[in-house]
Chains A and B, each alone.
Chain A
Amino acid sequence: MMPQTAIFTTLLVASLLFFCWSVYRRFSLLCYGQPEERLDQPARRLAEMFLYAFAQLRVLRKPFGLNHFVIFWSFMILALANGEFLVNGVFPSVSLALLPEGVHRALLLAFDAVSLLTLFAIAFSFIRRLVVKPPHLDSLYVKGRSPEAFLILSFIALLMLAYFGLHGSLIALGMEDPSAMPVSSLVGSWLSSHPDLIPALRNVSWWLHAFVLFAFICFLPHSKHMHILTAIPNCYFGALAWPATQPREKFEKGAVYGVGTVERFTWKDLFDSFTCTECGRCQAACPATITGKALNPRQIVHAIKTNLLENGDALREGRSGTLPLIGAEGEGTNTEDAIWSCTTCGACMEACPVLIEQMPKIVKMRRHLVETESRFPEELLNLFENMEQRSNPWGIAPGERAKWVSTLPVKPFVAGETEYLLYVGCAGSFDSRAKQVTVALATVLNAAGISWGILGKDEKCCGDSLRRLGNEYLFEKMALENVELFRQRGVTKVITLCPHCLTTLKNDYRQYGLELEVVHQSELIADLIRSGRIKLDKKDDSLGKIAYHDPCYLGRHNDIFEAPRTLVQAATGVAPVETERHGRNSFCCGAGGGRMWMEEFTGERVNHARVDELLAQKPDTICVACPYCMTMMEDGLKDKGAGQVRVRDVVEVLAEGLLRKNA
């Protein structure tokens, strides 16, 4: 054996052993997580993996994602070249040259081309980090300009340079055919005029290529670059349905509730944390982060990883770790303030290119705080008591639930006689502004001849805020009561006014075995418009220029984007104007996730940020389709001194149009 081969083989084997040991050390920690089913429906999972990991669908949503796409696919193609390099280093007689001539030439051409592309992409990455660094590259503990980031980029660049150095030398020596390698042959022809350099460059390039590969193999499992091992499987294990809901808990004596220590997360939660490569897209989308709150979804995921690694030895010895997951200072722990800042809007999950689920992890930690520690912002005590005692967040007497009806001819829901149950919800029943929306909805339903009724005084709160706030015990109690009530009354089809009721009845109650056909008012009415049951010939322009704000729980969580816009279009003849962040990327009003009932002490108010964005469109009216958004927009406009701008629910716009038509 040549000494070179011997040294190479020794180093390769050592690197691979170190790699395997590191990977084992890290990934064996997943075993301490809780079980979670993520292996069902393999065909669908493969499709998701193809779309998000290989086709990089989400990566490409941002312009700079193209750069990553180039690096990713170059890496995939060059894996073959690097594989050959490693095998050839151990067994010098084995190489791709053993393949048929045509295939070999095609591969060489591809290697040459993508290596050059990669060099450009790495150059852009350097420029992005050094010159035009977007702020979301920095989190508290991981900086865009960290040595780690530059080391990884340098490794890749060095590999490419070594590749060209090596193959340029071989071409100059006449040992390789230049015709298949245009870039390397350029290096080769330059070398021909410096023949004294050729042997040295060939050797240096070969060893550089070898050492960088070994270093990469050793470093990989210890860096954020580990995502090249985890991202593809993470897309395979991703949630098949949009996780707009949280899993149930089992309430029995001796059980532990929520997540208070890192091993209480599921293995998939932990795997998510190994997958995060700190791209910062979630933090760039998070309304809490943007408005200066303690929460940064990326740091939540980072904290889980750091905590798991820090406490890993303790877990292996069967103890709980010493670094607390919640409430301590510094890296590897989450502040309670951060946990309570989440609006559960889901923008982070929508932004993540590799399908990490940040929001549910926050709710799991809230569960621990509420159910085990009984520690939460003090405003919530009233909310919890009101919900438990009077089944509405304000603690208003349940007997007043149907007061909005007043003089309207509203029927009680009777199975067989009325088709739909109109589930009015707490806001629609008690909030004076939202009650106007309820009346507008009733008017439209009657005009279209829909058969509907209400539960009146017997209606109870759906419990949405409780579930998102982590008070799962109370939520379950209310959910069970509602499921029983709906079953008793024979409810099968439900119209909701509020997207939060919609999601709870539709997505959450399913976990209790209740399958209802639930529609948001805007969906039902959009259908009525399409089928011609609601006709508006005279278009109403009295509301002026209308900007539409997508409620998170209607849009992102339940995929209803078009219906509310249809209502505005039908009533006014003009489509609403769009803000920069709209549709799937809409920006929260600040009230979701139970934030409606909490004070907002830090940073800018979320609703102010959103109102500013809407006001940039210079609208006369802001349209919403959610009572929380209504409150937040109206308050925001008042605070911003823009009281002249009106806020309307889309159904109000339509109802006003109908009234005008009849007038």
Chain B
Amino acid sequence: MLVVVCVKQVPDTTQVQIDPVTNTLIREGVPFIVNPYDTHAVEEALRFKDRFGCRVAAISMGPPNAEATLRKALAQGVDRAVLLSDRSFGGADTLATSKVLAAAIEKLAKEEEVGVVICGKQTIDGDTAQVGPGIATRLNFSQLTLVDRVDELDLSGKKIRVSRKLEGRHEHVEAPLPVLLTVVRELNRPRYPTVAMRLESADAQVEVWDNKVLQLDVNGIGLKGSPTWVSRIFSPERAKGEMLGDGAHDPEGAAQLLIDKMLEKDLLAL
């Protein structure tokens, strides 16, 4: 059985700034990182590999330099890495993205049965959390989002039981395979690549599939296939705060003022 993990290269948001004039992200010089949720997805796939001996493929849609993200997954131990890169994929929204990823997974499934697809719950640049569910829909897979624990993966019975982390509660659910999971950070602690794996991965092959391989209708993918687009990005203006007391000379008084203020605004529960 093959486990497919979807990963994305995202700009390091701690280092992203918005150009106040053009209201666009200043991308220049900003380093890229692996979408943090996706690192947990990779880890869970590798745990399936450790436990059941299944193979793991990582796929990513992005520009050629997104190869670095896949190389990191290779260093952690995935068996195969495929970069989906083509000019016609560019400018895609979540719908067009999930079409390309689903097509790639279908292609992988022709070589080896895909039992589980794992995605991060969302990416930190788009924050939509739509691509995972979009893929599941297109593949007609069971769809379990916000997974924070996998209780059981039953390969012979072809079912999976997980815990979903919802606001204020957990949900224990079971679904038949094939399944798509989107995962939260609480799920696991990603492994740190050993030096041997890093050196291996440096020379490992990252396959690149363009649209000649996937053969998708160019009107359904990329910018052309995207019904949504970003009209504006901006940093919300923050109202100027107020200074309370004199923390340097009267810290206790200042703390008291702060507590009163928070009670007044109903920010503290008593």
Listed in ascending order, the chain A residues whose CB lies under 8 Å from chain B are 251-253, 257, 370-374, 376, 378, 381, 384, 389-390, 395-399, 473
Tell me, yes or no, whether B189 is within 8 Å of chain A by CB.
yes
Q: Is the CB of A389 within 8 A of B195?
A: no
Contact of B14 among A372, A381, A384, A390 (CB under 8 A): A390
Shortest A286–chain B CB gap in Å is 28
Chain B residues contacting A371 (CB-CB under 8 Å) are 194-195
Q: Is the CB of B15 within 8 A of A399?
A: yes
Q: How far is the CA of A371 from the CA of B198 in the complex (A)?
A: 10
Shortest B33–chain A CB gap in Å is 6
Known: A251-B199, A372-B195. A381 touches B15 (CB 8 A): no
Q: Is the CB of B195 within 8 A of A473?
A: yes
Most A CB within 10 A of own CB, among B17, B189, B194, B200: B194
For window 176-203 of B, CB contacts with A under 8 Å fall at: 189-196, 198-200
Residue in B closest to A396 when the chains form the complex, CB atoms: B14
Tell me, yes or no, whether B12 is within 8 Å of chain A by CB.
yes
For window 184-239 of B, CB contacts with A under 8 Å fall at: 189-196, 198-200
Q: Is the CB of A381 within 8 A of B189?
A: yes
Chain B residues contacting A257 (CB-CB under 8 Å) are 195-196
The 4 closest A-B pairs by CB, nearest first: A371-B195, A397-B15, A374-B192, A473-B195
Tell me, yes or no, whether B31 is within 8 Å of chain A by CB.
yes
Contact of A252 among B15, B191, B192, B199 (CB under 8 A): B199
Shortest B150–chain A CB gap in Å is 20
Chain A residues contacting B12 (CB-CB under 8 Å) are 389-390, 397
Q: Is the CB of B193 within 8 A of A374?
A: yes
Q: Is the CB of A373 within 8 A of B194?
A: yes
Residue in A closest to B29 when the chains form the complex, CB atoms: A399
Q: How far is the CA of A613 from the CA of B236 in the complex (A)?
A: 51
Q: How far is the CA of A395 from the CA of B15 in the complex (A)?
A: 10
Q: Is the CB of B191 within 8 A of A374?
A: yes
Q: How far is the CA of A586 from the CA of B128 in the complex (A)?
A: 55
Beyond the given A372-B196, A384-B192, A389-B33, could you list 13 further A-B residue pairs with CB under 8 A, ordered by the A residue number?
Answer: A251-B195, A251-B199, A374-B191, A374-B193, A381-B190, A381-B192, A389-B12, A389-B31, A390-B15, A390-B31, A398-B15, A399-B15, A473-B198
Residue in B closest to A254 when the chains form the complex, CB atoms: B196
List 13 interface pairs A-B (beta carbons < 8 Å), by A numbering.
Answer: A251-B199, A252-B199, A257-B195, A371-B195, A372-B194, A373-B194, A381-B190, A389-B12, A389-B33, A390-B14, A396-B14, A399-B17, A473-B195
Chain A residues contacting B199 (CB-CB under 8 Å) are 251-253
Residue in A closest to B190 when the chains form the complex, CB atoms: A381
Listed in ascending order, the chain B residues whose CB lies under 8 Å from chain A are 12, 14-15, 17, 31, 33, 189-196, 198-200
Residue in A closest to B36 when the chains form the complex, CB atoms: A385
Chain B residues contacting A389 (CB-CB under 8 Å) are 12, 31, 33
Shortest A389–chain B CB gap in Å is 6
Chain A residues contacting B194 (CB-CB under 8 Å) are 371-374
Q: How far is the CA of A257 from the CA of B31 in the complex (A)?
A: 29
Chain A residues contacting B15 (CB-CB under 8 Å) are 390, 397-399
Shortest B10–chain A CB gap in Å is 12
Q: How far is the CA of A473 from the CA of B192 in the complex (A)?
A: 12
Chain B residues contacting A378 (CB-CB under 8 Å) are 189
Chain B residues contacting A370 (CB-CB under 8 Å) are 192
Shortest A495–chain B CB gap in Å is 28
Chain A residues contacting B31 (CB-CB under 8 Å) are 389-390
Q: How far is the CA of A376 from the CA of B33 in the complex (A)?
A: 23
Contact of A395 among B14, B189, B193 (CB under 8 A): B14
Shortest B235–chain A CB gap in Å is 15
Chain B residues contacting A396 (CB-CB under 8 Å) are 14
Chain B residues contacting A398 (CB-CB under 8 Å) are 15
Known: A253-B199, A371-B195, A372-B195. A397 touches B189 (CB 8 A): no
Chain A residues contacting B189 (CB-CB under 8 Å) are 378, 381
Q: How far is the CA of A398 from the CA of B17 in the complex (A)?
A: 13
Most A CB within 10 A of own CB, among B12, B15, B33, B192: B192
Q: How far is the CA of A359 from the CA of B15 in the complex (A)?
A: 38
Shortest B64–chain A CB gap in Å is 21
Q: How far is the CA of A252 from the CA of B195 in the complex (A)?
A: 9
Most B CB within 10 A of own CB, among A378, A396, A397: A397
Shortest B130–chain A CB gap in Å is 26
Q: How far is the CA of A373 from the CA of B191 in the complex (A)?
A: 10
Q: How far is the CA of A374 from the CA of B196 in the complex (A)?
A: 10
Most A CB within 10 A of own CB, among B15, B189, B193, B198: B15
Residue in B closest to A398 when the chains form the complex, CB atoms: B15
Chain A residues contacting B14 (CB-CB under 8 Å) are 390, 395-397
Chain B residues contacting A381 (CB-CB under 8 Å) are 189-190, 192
Q: How far is the CA of A142 from the CA of B229 in the complex (A)?
A: 73
Q: How far is the CA of A399 from the CA of B13 in the complex (A)?
A: 12
Chain A residues contacting B196 (CB-CB under 8 Å) are 253, 257, 372
Most A CB within 10 A of own CB, among B12, B17, B189, B200: B12
Most B CB within 10 A of own CB, among A370, A372, A374, A395: A374
Shortest B205–chain A CB gap in Å is 15
Chain A residues contacting B17 (CB-CB under 8 Å) are 399
Q: How far is the CA of A384 from the CA of B196 in the complex (A)?
A: 17
Shortest B82–chain A CB gap in Å is 24
Most A CB within 10 A of own CB, among B191, B195, B198: B195
Q: How far is the CA of A398 from the CA of B15 in the complex (A)?
A: 8
Q: How far is the CA of A251 from the CA of B199 in the complex (A)?
A: 8
Shortest A104–chain B CB gap in Å is 66
Shortest A388–chain B CB gap in Å is 10
Residue in A closest to B15 when the chains form the complex, CB atoms: A397
Q: How far is the CA of A378 from the CA of B190 in the complex (A)?
A: 10
Residue in B closest to A399 when the chains form the complex, CB atoms: B15
Shortest B30–chain A CB gap in Å is 9
Q: How far is the CA of A397 from the CA of B12 in the complex (A)?
A: 9
Chain A residues contacting B193 (CB-CB under 8 Å) are 374
Q: How far is the CA of A374 from the CA of B33 in the complex (A)?
A: 21
Chain A residues contacting B192 (CB-CB under 8 Å) are 370, 374, 376, 381, 384
Chain B residues contacting A473 (CB-CB under 8 Å) are 195, 198
Q: How far is the CA of A279 from the CA of B192 in the complex (A)?
A: 39
Q: How far is the CA of A644 from the CA of B193 in the complex (A)?
A: 46
Q: How far is the CA of A251 from the CA of B14 in the complex (A)?
A: 31
Residue in B closest to A380 when the chains form the complex, CB atoms: B192
Chain B residues contacting A253 (CB-CB under 8 Å) are 196, 199-200
Chain B residues contacting A372 (CB-CB under 8 Å) are 194-196
Q: How far is the CA of A399 from the CA of B31 in the complex (A)?
A: 11
Q: How far is the CA of A138 from the CA of B117 in the complex (A)?
A: 57
Q: How far is the CA of A253 from the CA of B204 in the complex (A)?
A: 12
Shortest B172–chain A CB gap in Å is 26
Chain A residues contacting B191 (CB-CB under 8 Å) are 374
Q: How far is the CA of A643 from the CA of B198 in the complex (A)?
A: 47
Chain B residues contacting A395 (CB-CB under 8 Å) are 14
Q: How far is the CA of A390 from the CA of B194 in the complex (A)?
A: 20
Shortest B45–chain A CB gap in Å is 17
Chain B residues contacting A374 (CB-CB under 8 Å) are 191-194
Shortest A592–chain B CB gap in Å is 22
Chain A residues contacting B33 (CB-CB under 8 Å) are 389
Chain B residues contacting A397 (CB-CB under 8 Å) are 12, 14-15
